[in-house]
Homo-oligomer: A and B are copies of this chain.
Amino acid sequence: MTSLKRPADATSAHDRIYRTLRARIMYGDIAPGQALTLRGIGREHGLSMTPAREALRRLVAEGALFQSVSGRVSTPEPGNERIEELAALRALLEVELASRALPRAHMALIDRMQSIDRTVAEMVAKRDPVGYIRANLEFHRALYLRAQAPAMLAMAETVWLQLGPTMRVLYGRLQRAEPPRFHKAIIAALRAGDEPGLRLAIRSDVTQGLRLLAG
């Protein structure tokens, strides 16, 4: 564990740990309730506990991880009321983001979204939950990037992050290999420049999967 190499590192070490863990959590690669230890995370990345501590604390601050009173951190197991609230936040933020992106959506973007949607369908067919969640969020992010609203997009991603572990069990629960129904409606509304239709389609798509949890 001797610190020697420092090969022109673009980003700091804790940032690498942070990004790695963040991606794993957001895309449902970690099951709810899983415990994470400072020394364990550090060892996995060949680093000491210092960067691991900062990465974990940041994820806790963002609501991606839960910290018990004794300081142990683990991925959260949110209750239904919290899931519903996060879904409502997704709807609120993403409808606004889509609405702002609509006037700037070129044809190239719509084509790219359709391509991503095909990837989503592939992942559904392969029963790959992590790939599914990643592609699905990529579909949304591609649109929202056009909204030119970085703070709003960051908030939406924070919500995705908090929903990550839940989305895993959720999309593992729906066994039928059905791709998201509302993506086609989203693309159609984008093509038509139909703002009310887009808002409804986004809201439906975002709320869709989460609804069957409460039922």
Contacts and interface: CB of A to CB of B under 8 A. Distances in A.
Contacts of A93: 92
A82 to B, nearest CB: 7
A89 B149 CA distance: 10
A96 B85 CA distance: 11
Interface in A155-182: 155, 158, 162
A116 interface: no
Interface stretch (A26-34, A52-60, A104-112, A118-126): A52-60
Interface string A50-94: 000110011001110000000100000000001001101100110
Contacts of A145: none
A35 to B, nearest CB: 19
Given A61-B62, A62-B61, A92-B93, A85 B150 contact: yes
Contacts of A71: 12
A151 interface: yes
B54 A86 contact: no
A38 interface: no
A152 B88 contact: yes
Nearest to A83: B151
A54 B55 CA distance: 10
Contact of A162 (B85, B89, B151): B151
A108 to B, nearest CB: 24
Given A61-B62, A62-B61, A92-B93, A85 B155 contact: no
Interface of A: 12, 53-54, 57-58, 61-63, 71, 82, 85-86, 88-89, 92-93, 96, 149-152, 154-155, 158, 162
7 contacts: A12-B71, A53-B54, A58-B58, A58-B61, A88-B96, A88-B149, A151-B162
